[in-house]
Amino acid sequence: MSEKLTIGKLAGATGTKVETIRYYEQIGLLPAPARSASNYRTYEGTHLRRLSFIRRARDLGFSIDQVRELMGLADHRDQSCIAVDVVANQHRDAIRRKIADLTALAGELDALIDSCSRNTVADCRIIEALAPSA
Amino acid sequence: MSEKLTIGKLAGATGTKVETIRYYEQIGLLPAPARSASNYRTYEGTHLRRLSFIRRARDLGFSIDQVRELMGLADHRDQSCIAVDVVANQHRDAIRRKIADLTALAGELDALIDSCSRNTVADCRIIEALAPSA
DNA sequence: TATGCACCCTCTAGTCGCTAGAGGGTCAAG
DNA sequence: CTTGACCCTCTAGCGACTAGAGGGTGCATA
């Protein structure tokens, strides 16, 4: 049905910027489409589906390399999806670790901010905490 | 006492890489030290204190620009430290927002991973969830 | 004294995932 | 036939480093 999209239409349909699409083509994430007589990129349904996949995975925080891996796995429909599960789990674990790190950080900052007497810089506990004990 | 550090000693003392110290000098975050006859950087106590401040602030997740701002504020010891408080608060809030974003993401990934039947890719819910509904 | 090795120097380019800009060409509506 | 929105390529920039090439220096040891 809806074949032959310009890069702008594809961008609109997937919530991606035009420049980003060209970038994905450049790094080999999205296959290069055919060109019109005037050298415009002409995308098909396959591109739309592939880019949607990419966007969704990126929105979930997967790296470009992970997206590449997931797409490679998705293309072998007869194989086990345990490898897919592994990638997703690794990513989820990395996010959980990052959350833990940031939570610890926020706690430290809370303590720092609470200790601020809001007087002069000379006796500011925040500056003091950042400076060495000397 | 312990004056005249080579870049390597300073790196060791602050837990910073040598290249990073040179980078901080290049971007004007750490003042350029004197040079020895053989063109080696020779650091003093002031550099050690300043770099320690930078490291601590960076470890707490402040951006280079924020570190620059904090150091500028710290240098005016007679002024109010409310500006310091503001920078710290902005940063803390940004971190809290990032934690919220990542938590939502981790939840989505949990749901995705739970739905995986661990069969073939063809009926893998993870791939399905990434692909468009078509 | 020679040699080796750890350290230092500068300069450049790479990382990640885009984003922005210059300097053009194309297409469709009014 | 002009205007404005779109398209093209190529290059450089972001943040915060990191890595490498290609060279010089300083000290200990054989």
Domain boundary among A34, A60, A79: A79
Domain region containing A97 = 86-134
Contact B73, B79 (CB under 8 A): yes
Same domain, A63 and A11: yes
Q: State which residue of chain B sits closest to A101, comparing Cα positions.
A: B99
Q: Do B126 and A53 touch (CB under 8 A)?
A: no
Distances from the Cα of A23 to the Cα of A18, A19, A48, A59, angstroms: 9, 6, 15, 17
Shortest Cα distance, chain B CAs vs residue A107, angstroms: 9
Identify from B56, B114, B124, B128 which residue to disrupt to test chain A contact, counting A C-beta atoms within 10 A and taking the largest count: B124
Domain boundary among A44, A61, A79: A79
Chain centroid, CA B99 distance in Å: 16
| Whole-number pLDDT of residue B120 | 82
Contact B49, B10 (CB under 8 A): no
Chain centroid, CA B107 distance in Å: 26
Q: Do B102 and A95 touch (CB under 8 A)?
A: yes
Same domain, B66 and B112: no
Identify from A80, A96, A126, A133 which residue to disrupt to test chain B contact, counting B C-beta atoms within 10 A and taking the largest count: A126
Same domain, A10 and A60: yes
Same domain, A4 and A67: yes
Scan residues 10-39 of B and list those with Cβ closer than 8 Å to A. none
Q: What is the full per-residue pLDDT of chain B (134 aa) written as tens digits?
A: 557 999 999 999 999 999 999 999 999 999 999 999 999 999 999 999 999 999 999 999 999 999 999 999 998 888 888 889 999 999 999 999 999 999 999 999 999 998 887 778 788 888 888 876 54
Same domain, A102 and A125: yes
Instruction: Tell me the count of A-B CB pairs closer than 8 A.
Output: 164
Same domain, B11 and B59: yes
Rg value, chain B, Cα: 24
Same domain, B92 and B133: yes
What stretches of chain B show up as alpha helix (H) in DSSP?
A: 7-14, 18-26, 45-59, 64-74, 82-114, 125-130
Same domain, A96 and A66: no
